[in-house]
């Protein structure tokens, strides 16, 4: 990490790790994304990212393209300038929330499947764990609803977002 304050550098590492885990990104992609989240600049060039992250051209190329493909970032150009400039997409929070929603739905589905499988095949086990299973199912349902309303709220800010 070059040319950035120590405070920022630490936050980049921390945020980067978080993105890496939560979105299953390679470490470098997580760091690049963190740099952009924490930056003043409207648009980092390819070169900027190489300098800041101290990574090779090829790695930066691969990871920038990955982030673009996953819609975490986007690029724009300036007339009379061959470079591409990258910035976070304005709706990355919505993407994150939608990812959460998807994963919650998947899990809720699984829990229901397990509950009904055990109900049918292991009735005495099901009875014993019924309350727990239902509490978990209830929790997931609440969370799903919560996510849906949050996403609705975000869409209300659409003009700002898109």
Partner DNA sequence: GTATTGGTTCGGAAACTACCGAACTAATTA
Partner DNA sequence: TAATTAGTTCGGTAGTTTCCGAACCAATAC
Binding region for a copy of itself (CB under 8 A): 7-8, 11, 14-15, 18, 22, 37-40, 90, 93, 96-97, 106-107, 110, 113-114, 117-118, 121-122, 125, 128-129, 131-133, 135-136, 138-139, 142-143, 146-147, 150, 153-154, 157, 160-161
Helix (H) or strand (E) holding 145: helix 123-156
Q: How far apart are CA 63 and CA 59, in angstroms?
A: 6
- Residue from 17, 43, 51, 61 in contact with DNA (CB under 7 A): 61
Q: Among 40, 37, 33, 42, which Cα is nearest to 69's?
A: 33
Is 148 in contact with 97 (CB distance < 8 Å)? no
Is 63 in contact with 133 (CB distance < 8 Å)? no
- 117 interacts with, out of DNA, a copy of itself, none, CB within 5 to 8 A per kind: a copy of itself
CA distances from 90 to 52, 143, 144 (A): 22, 24, 23
- 55 interacts with, out of DNA, a copy of itself, none, CB within 5 to 8 A per kind: DNA
State the nearest-atom distance from the C-beta of 88 to a copy of itself, in Å. Answer: 9
- Contact flag: residue 17 with DNA (CB under 7 A): no
Residues that bind DNA (CB under 7 A): 26-29, 45-47, 54-59, 61-65, 82-84
């Amino acid at each position: 990490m070059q040319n950035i304050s120590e405070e920022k550098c630490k936050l980049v590492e921390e945020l980067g790790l978080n993105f890496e885990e939560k979105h299953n990104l390679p470490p470098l992609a997580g760091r690049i994304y963190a740099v952009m989240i924490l930056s003043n600049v409207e648009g980092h060039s390819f070169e900027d990212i190489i300098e800041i992250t101290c990574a090779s051209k090829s790695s930066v190329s691969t990871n920038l393209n990955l982030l673009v493909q996953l819609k975490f970032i986007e690029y724009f150009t300036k007339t009379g300038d061959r470079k591409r400039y990258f910035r976070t997409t304005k709706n990355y929070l919505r993407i994150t929330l939608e990812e959460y929603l998807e994963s919650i739905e998947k899990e809720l589905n699984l829990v229901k499947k397990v509950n009904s499988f055990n109900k049918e095949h292991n009735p005495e086990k099901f009875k014993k764990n019924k309350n727990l299973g239902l509490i978990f199912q209830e929790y997931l349902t609440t969370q799903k609803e919560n996510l849906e309303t949050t996403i609705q709220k975000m869409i209300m800010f659409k003009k700002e977002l898109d």
